[in-house]
Structure 1
Amino acid sequence: MAKYFDVHPENPQARTIGNVADSIRSGALVAYPTDSLYALGCQLGNRDGLDRIRSIRDLDDRHHFTLVCQNFAQLGQFVQIDNDVFRAIKAATPGSYTFILPATKEVPRQLLHPKKKTVGVRIPDHTVVQALLAEIGEPLLSSSLLLPDEPEPLTQGWEIKERLDHVVDIVVDSGDCGTKPTTVIDFSGGGAEIVRYGAGDTARFE
């Protein structure tokens, strides 16, 4: 049965954030809100957590997982970015975007796209997630909480608790976070290719 934490959206309780972070370090799989949908997340390198996310979402090995990062210093450890791409991403973050980029050797092999050797990265504009990332001190391995064969995402923490009670360990609820996933921009081919239109404005990349 999943633990349920009700967290203030603007002033997240430090003790609660610390408890969630400790559980993630101990191998927990968490459902948490972002600036675009709820997400499933676990510690980087948590192979069991990765397998559980694949199972919940019915994902194949070509799915791009996302490293949810606190800031650019953290993001730069895990992906290769040239100056032009750096400026484009810097101007759009933090925000509701996921960027696909060539991975560095810091990224566990099982997270990489099998052919392209790329990974998704993002810096969310969400107070609760930022507090959690600061407490953990490393990115969260994440995937949007989109259930297979369901047209709409789950937007309420209590509903996620009811639906996923026996497949996740923690549900963090800080209110509704919308129904649009991130906009996904693929920079791995040199230019900006919009892979998915979502919550982030695409005008700057078109």
Structure 2
Amino acid sequence: MSNLSSQVVLQVDRAIEILKAGGIVAFPTDTVYGLGGDAFNIEVAERIFRVKQRPCHLPLPVLLADFAQVASVVDSVSGIARFLMKHFWPGGLTLVLLKKDSLPDIITAGSNKVAIRIPDHVVPLTLIRGLGAPIIGTSANISDKPSPVTTEEVEQQLGSQVDLIIDMGKCPGGLESTIVDVTGETPVILRHGVIPEKEIKRACQEYAREVGKGAYCSGL
């Protein structure tokens, strides 16, 4: 955390304590401000649903600190999924894969799929490493409201319902992550975001050439 101010370092240290105690925190990422807590704590997930006023049928994405943590939440990783991870992580690509049974069903809204990514930002990475486990990484807003890019916007929407807001000014991204489902035969973009569709297609085409699947990207 050498590139963080002493004030932010103190906030991050406090946030790790809160996460370990089963609390929730708002934090800057490479896209928008996130809201998170221990991804394996059911009560934390329930609280995040309440705070965001998020419909229970909508799953919560999960943030990881490194590739080693993928196996803790995902059942298996396909060739294209691994290729996209190496190509775009850390960064603004969220991948949907088949979840591991040990991940609470509330996270995935009862689905057998989970959305994961490794952010390109020191704060969430430090929080995850400090907790020693993946964290929920949803946007720090009321559902259907604009995703916040400043702490002021987080406070306006969530206020005192969050245990701590880590203030690092405006997020550098401003756009949410791009979501791609890689559980089927071909990748499918579920949400357009910070990584343009053409970059996803280009990466998929590169993978297709490597494995000899000329029409691999037809689903995009």
Q: What TM-score comes out, normalization by structure 1 length?
A: 0.85
Q: Deviations over 1:15-40 (max 9, x none)?
A: 44222101111011111111111111
Indicate the structure (1 or 2) with the bigger Cα radius of gyration: 2
2-structure distance, mates of 1:12, 1:73: 29
Corresponding residue of 2:117: 122
The answer for unaligned runs of 5 or more in structure 1 is 1-7
Please point out which of 127, 140, 147 is paired with 2:142.
147
Corresponding residue of 1:92: 88
Task: Give how far 1:102 is off.
Answer: 0.1
Where do 1:2-151 residues align within 5 Å?
A: 10-11=3-4, 13=6, 14-79=9-74, 80-114=76-110, 116-150=111-145
Deviating above 6 A after TM superposition, structure 1's stretches of 4 or more consecutive aligned residues are none
1-structure distance, mates of 2:30, 2:133: 19
2-structure distance, mates of 1:142, 1:94: 14
SS of the aligned residue for 2:94 comes to: strand
**Larger RCO, structure (CA 8 Å, separation 6 or more):** 1
1-structure distance, mates of 2:191, 2:157: 26
Please point out which of 178, 190, 199 is paired with 1:195.
190
Structure showing the higher strand proportion among its residues: 1
Task: Give how far 1:202 is off.
Answer: 2.8
Task: Give how far 1:75 is off.
Answer: 1.5
Amino acid of the structure 1 residue aligned with 2:98? P
Are 1:70 and 1:123, in contact at CA under 8 Å, matched by a contact in 2?
yes
SS of the aligned residue for 1:43 comes to: coil
Are 1:100 and 1:187, in contact at CA under 8 Å, matched by a contact in 2?
yes
SS of the aligned residue for 1:98 comes to: strand
Are 1:17 and 1:135, in contact at CA under 8 Å, matched by a contact in 2?
no
Task: Give how far 1:155 is off.
Answer: 1.9
Amino acid of the structure 1 residue aligned with 2:138? S
1-structure distance, mates of 2:78, 2:148: 36
Please point out which of 151, 161, 166 is paired with 1:167.
161
- Using the TM superposition, name which of 63-72 and 43-52 deviates more: 43-52
SS of the aligned residue for 1:165 comes to: helix
Q: Deviations over 1:147-204 (max 9, x none)?
A: 2343x32221134235422211110111211431111011122321000011123324
SS of the aligned residue for 1:164 comes to: helix
User: Does residue 176 in structure 1 map to residue 170 in structure 2?
Assistant: yes
Corresponding residue of 2:208: none
Aligned pairs, number: 197
Structure showing the higher helix proportion among its residues: 2
SS of the aligned residue for 2:34 comes to: strand
Q: Percent identity?
A: 24
Decide whether aligned partners of structure 1 residues 146 and 179 sit closer, same or farther in structure 2, where only a CA change above 3 A counts: farther
Are 1:45 and 1:108, in contact at CA under 8 Å, matched by a contact in 2?
yes
Q: Deviations over 1:47-93 (max 9, x none)?
A: 23212221233322331211100011112221120233211222111
